[in-house]
Amino acid sequence: MSGPAEHRRHVAVHVTGIVQGVGMRPFVYREARAHRIAGWVLNAPDGVHIDAVGSAPDIEAFLEGLRGHAPAAARIDAVSVRDMECPDEPEPGDPRFTILASDADGARTTLVSPDIATCDDCLRELFDPADRRYHYPFINCTNCGPRFTIIRSLPYDRAATSMDAFPMCPECAAEYADPADRRFHAQPDACFACGPHITWREHGRGAAGAPALGTTREESDAIIERCAELLENGGIVAIKGLGGFHLACSAEDAGAVRELRRRKRRSGKPFAIMVRTVRDAQSLCSVDAQERELLAGSVRPIVLLARAGREGGIDLAYDVARDLPEIGVMLPYTPLQHLIMAACARRGIRALVMTSGNISGEPIETDDDDAWRRLGPIADALLGNDRAILSRYDDSVVRCAGGLVLPVRRARGYAPRPLPLPRIEPTCSPAAPSKRRPSRWCATIRTGAPRASCPSISAISSGAPPSKRGAMPSGAWNPCSA
């Protein structure tokens, strides 16, 4: 219960940072309920706004909770609090706290969340035959799933994403509206009945240009099984991911890897691989605690790991990374990848080459029809889906050295998080402003303000990065071509 009016407090709160698409509003709602706060929360283009009325100690505890217990995927840059005039009388009964419709007006300054790897709760449901999303390749919740790659504009609401093409079924809509549910206001919430579905095209099978659709669990499972069968038999499959296509083949099949190199016209550069578990990664490479956290965390970049061939380990085809001392390894980060890796494991495949699905020197493909036209000569089949990718997003590549995580390619999971720029005095400015473009860029650098960074989208240049283990052979890991 709120106290008498003189002990009550009314505050307007503005939270900035990565606060949309990370379960912030449901979190604020639960905190407000827990501390008997009345008011509302809404998303706006400049962040999250909260209006809160409660007893002074409850408001204090509420604000502390906001700062201290934000969702794992959120990054709070600032919580600004402004005291407002208190309403005369507390409303009788339970204080009402509501999530208001987003406010589309105002300055567009909030930060877009990166996409987040499938969380453990969703993973459990994905492999639980009793769950209604059993084997659903697009399962997600407020703690995981696509964000950056499906957002058209801010504030982050379903209508402003490529999920707007999928009206929610009654069951999903009920979860979405239930504050006690993990999918409360999860914008990409979906299921077999209402959400996106995977598709399948294969040379020589089915009507040209008309992909098979995995509308039901059975149809979807059949596509994934066919994909695994093709991979087992040395095939190459273009697989649509979060921000573009991968080209996949068995990393243990020397002929398949050679053929992928031939068709992709990529003679020397190493391929990244995907394995199912950290234990599988350890069967190929040495993995320390920091690397393990990166492999299995919520970002899941490609981690460059030192080889450590072990007895009984994965028998990697020589052509994956030839004689390089490091292998680029990642774990599955989408539900579809978990399903594919599980289907492959049943056929004895423990590692897949997962290289960017692009023609050498061009950006990663994102559209199914374009990808089939352009990657068709490389791939035997294409596993796509009917959800549009709105932003390209290649896999990030990192290396650990001396306790630091060094980005080799900063994209999925990291971008568009801003990078703080160092304060650089004008005399030290790395590029003087030209006559045509006066001082805008330099002025930005002088502020030392964080800047949003675009993800790498897989293109065009070459050149090897420095290695923590001495000089790398030419064709080594490259920010623009892994």
Applying CB under 5 A, the span of 41-49, 170-178, 241-249, 354-362 interacting with Zn ion comes to 170-178
Q: Smallest distance, Å, CB 239 to Zn ion?
A: 21
Q: Smallest distance, Å, CB 183 to Zn ion?
A: 8
Q: Smallest distance, Å, CB 189 to Zn ion?
A: 7
Give the one residue of 104, 194, 213, 406 binding Zn ion; rule: CB under 5 A: 194
Beta carbon nearer to Zn ion, 62 or 192:
192
Give the one residue of 191, 198, 336, 343 binding Zn ion; rule: CB under 5 A: 191
Q: How far apart are CA 245 and CA 375, in angstroms?
A: 9
CA angle 169, 104, 172 (to 5 degrees): 10
Beta carbon nearer to Zn ion, 119 or 321:
119
SS3 279: helix
187 binds Zn ion (CB under 5 A): no
Beta carbon nearer to Zn ion, 49 or 135:
135
Q: Smallest distance, Å, CB 171 to Zn ion?
A: 6
22 binds Zn ion (CB under 5 A): no
SS3 54: strand
SS3 315: coil
Beta carbon nearer to Zn ion, 194 or 359:
194
Q: How far apart are CA 259 and CA 189, in angstroms?
A: 39
Residue identified by tokens 């060094």 is: 406
344 binds Zn ion (CB under 5 A): no
Tell which positions 405-464 bind Zn ion, by CB under 5 A: none
242 binds Zn ion (CB under 5 A): no
Do β-strands 273-275 and 326-330 pair in parallel, antiparallel, or remain unpaired?
A: parallel
SS3 121: helix
193 binds Zn ion (CB under 5 A): yes
Applying CB under 5 A, the span of 26-34, 117-125, 343-351, 395-403 interacting with Zn ion comes to 117-125
- Taking alpha carbons only, the member of 409, 379, 412 closest to residue 476 is 409
Binding mask 123-162 for Zn ion (x = CB under 5 A): ------------------x-xx------------------
Do β-strands 273-275 and 38-44 pair in parallel, antiparallel, or remain unpaired?
A: unpaired
122 binds Zn ion (CB under 5 A): yes
Residue identified by tokens 């450590």 is: 308
Q: How far apart are CA 398 and CA 409, in angstroms?
A: 7
Q: Smallest distance, Å, CB 140 to Zn ion?
A: 5
Beta carbon nearer to Zn ion, 186 or 379:
186
Beta carbon nearer to Zn ion, 334 or 366:
334
Q: Smallest distance, Å, CB 176 to Zn ion?
A: 9
Beta carbon nearer to Zn ion, 172 or 375:
172
172 binds Zn ion (CB under 5 A): yes
Buried b (16+ CB within 10 A) or exposed e, 47-72: bbbbbbbbbeebbebbbebbeeebbe
Q: Which residues contact 79 (CB under 8 A, 6 or more apart)?
A: 13, 14, 15, 63, 66, 67
169 binds Zn ion (CB under 5 A): yes
Give the one residue of 44, 53, 119, 445 binding Zn ion; rule: CB under 5 A: 119
In a 13 Å sphere around the CA of 281, the CA atoms on its Cβ side amount to 30
Q: How far apart are CA 163 and CA 157, in angstroms?
A: 9
Q: Smallest distance, Å, CB 320 to Zn ion?
A: 31
Total residues in contact with Zn ion, by rule CB under 5 A: 10
Beta carbon nearer to Zn ion, 113 or 458:
113
Q: Smallest distance, Å, CB 71 to Zn ion?
A: 11
Q: Smallest distance, Å, CB 451 to Zn ion?
A: 30
Beta carbon nearer to Zn ion, 187 or 355:
187
Q: Which residues contact 259 (CB under 8 A, 6 or more apart)?
A: 234, 236, 249
Q: Smallest distance, Å, CB 123 to Zn ion?
A: 8
73 binds Zn ion (CB under 5 A): no
Beta strands in 59-182 (DSSP E): 75-84, 97-99
Are the CB atoms for 145 and 118 separated by under 8 Å? yes
Q: Smallest distance, Å, CB 178 to Zn ion?
A: 14
DSSP for 198-240, please give it: EEEEETTBSSTT--EE--SHHHHHHHHHHHHHHHHTT--EEEE
Q: Smallest distance, Å, CB 143 to Zn ion?
A: 5
Beta carbon nearer to Zn ion, 122 or 285:
122
Q: How far apart are CA 169 and CA 192, in angstroms?
A: 10
Q: Which parts of this chain interact with Zn ion (CB under 5 A)?
A: 119, 122, 141, 143-144, 169, 172, 191, 193-194
